[in-house]
Amino acid sequence: MPVIAVVGAQWGDEGKGKIVDLLAARAQVVARSQGGANAGHTIKRGGSRIILHLLPSGALSPDAQCLIGPGVVLDAGALLQELKELADLGISLKGRLTIDLRTHLVFPTHKLLEAQQETQLGNQKIGTTCRGIGPAYSDKAARRGVRLGDLLDKSRRLATCTALFDYHAALLEKIYHQPPLDRAPLLAEAEFWAEELASYAGDSVRKLREAVDRDQVVLLEGAQGTFLDLDLGTYPFVTSSHPTSGGPVVGIGLPPGKIDFVLGVLKAYCTRVGSGPFPTEMDDETAKLLRDRGAEYGATTGRPRRIGWLDLVAAKEAAQWNGVNGWALTKLDVLEKLPTLKVCSSYRIGDTILSGVPLTIQGWADAVPLYEELPGWEDGHEARDIDDLPDNARNYLAKIESYTGVPVHLISLGAGQEETILPRGELVQP
Ligand code: IMP
């Protein structure tokens, strides 16, 4: 199973970091193809927690090649900071990180613009991570973005950076009534980024293809989650990229037929950060309990996450849209000791029962989740074999499998790598 795509099946924060880290130890190549520093993959190593925002999780495996595809938007400052933090831990990416020359850059002014846009939206705001993601993808789509190749080309650097900066400065001044900005610091920063990033720049698409042709184990690391997809998610409360399994096809030029296995990461309950519809959201003592037990605070922004029961309707849609071959079910331990659990098994709008998720934002807002109740269980987090899980925990898994039609391949019962059950054996042979 050499090419595995790991996708979030909910609203992000499904616990992809641990899953990708587990698999990265066996992968020769780990690639990011969408999103930017809005992602936050938390990885536990020994006693410390490491949060990666831009670097593929393979960064922590000394022999893995790390690729950043053209579909990513690159905050050069954030990436350099991450490289420095890893260097302080004795981890070097020299010679094993390739950032595609076609990758678009996030400017500091993208973040300034985003802050203004969010403020102007008032209580309709998206609740973004304020990492400049939406404005950077907007400039890319409008064909005025600056790519890494422009930054490294001395004959284009000044002109391209100046043009984009001046456009942003005009927007900030004329539309958002902000004071004029000085170009000089940005241009100096751009020079610095060019010096620091030159040795990592290259053709990540070709490197990926060569790895696939050599039958190497390749991990395609998705960021965010299916319902934050720009086209399929709860628009406009979405991110500006494609976290679905098509992401690597457009974002790092992988031919569609080359993905051997789509591993959907599904948290045993749901969370969401930022605004937007969330049918199974609960706002009671159980939500507080799960937030605390599950440490449900944003890895990038520290915001408390909204909490909801498992939404099987959404999970089934995610399975179908992404072509999920197997689930990695995370944070099952967090549900322990609840007397009963609810799972949403259909939505109702007025008198109509929907057969899938709503297609409009009003539909999402109006959808009433209909629940089935399942009995809870006491203790199961120490199980290391499927047969050691309490019966009711196994019933919960069986419900997910039968409803979504997708088998569970991995169960995570804690942040540590050993707190894992592989009911169908290893995903990647050692
Ligand atoms: P943006 O990606 O910063 O533009 O934010 C758009 C929406 O996606 C907001 O609701 C964010 O909270 C959400 N979002 C972006 N990245 C992540 C993530 O890695 N995990 C969970 N939510 C995210």
* Token pair recorded at residue 347: 């939505």
Distance between CA 69 and CA 196 in Å, rounded?
18
> What one-letter code names the amino acid at 92?
S
**127 Cβ closer than 6 Å to some ligand 1 atom:** yes
Cis preceding linkage at 243, omega within 30: no
> What one-letter code names the amino acid at 150?
D
Secondary structure (3-state) at 49: strand
Listed in order, strand segments (DSSP E) in 69-132 are 73-74, 97-100, 104-105
**279 Cβ closer than 6 Å to some ligand 1 atom:** no
CB 399 within 8 A of CB 406: no
381 is catalytic: no
Domain boundaries, the chain: 3-92+203-421, 104-200
DSSP string, 321-348: HHT--EEEEE-GGGGTT-SEEEEEEEEE
**Gap from CA of 300 to ligand 1 centroid (Å):** 9
**134 Cβ closer than 6 Å to some ligand 1 atom:** yes
Distance between CA 409 and CA 393 in Å, rounded?
15
Top mutation candidate among 38, 54, 227, 278 for ligand 1, by most atoms within 8 Å of CB: 38
Longest dimension (CA), the chain: 67
**Gap from CA of 326 to ligand 1 centroid (Å):** 24
Check residues 371 and 429 and name the one with the higher pLDDT. Answer: 371
Q: Which long-range contacts (CB under 8 A, 24 or more apart) does 157-161 make?
A: 157/190, 157/191, 157/194, 158/187, 161/107, 161/186, 161/187, 161/190
- The per-residue pLDDT for 132 is 98
- Mean of pLDDT values over 79-89: 93
Q: Please tell me the total number of residues recorded for the chain in this structure.
A: 430
CATH of domain 104-200: 1.10.300.10
- The per-residue pLDDT for 407 is 98
pTM, rounded to two decimals: 0.96
What is the pLDDT confidence band of residue 98, given thresholds at 50, 70 and 90?
very high
**12 Cβ closer than 6 Å to some ligand 1 atom:** yes
166 is catalytic: no
Q: What is the CA radius of gyration of the chain?
A: 22
Top mutation candidate among 235, 238, 239, 267 for ligand 1, by most atoms within 8 Å of CB: 239
Query: Across the chain, what does the average pLDDT equal?
Result: 95
Distance between CA 49 and CA 270 in Å, rounded?
23
CA within 13 Å, CB half, 170: 6
For the stretch 41-80, pLDDT in tens is 887 777 777 889 999 988 998 889 999 999 999 999 999 9
What superfamily would CATH give domain 3-92+203-421? Answer: Adenylosuccinate Synthetase, subunit A, domain 3 (3.90.170.10)
For the stretch 129-154, pLDDT in tens is 999 999 999 999 999 999 999 999 99
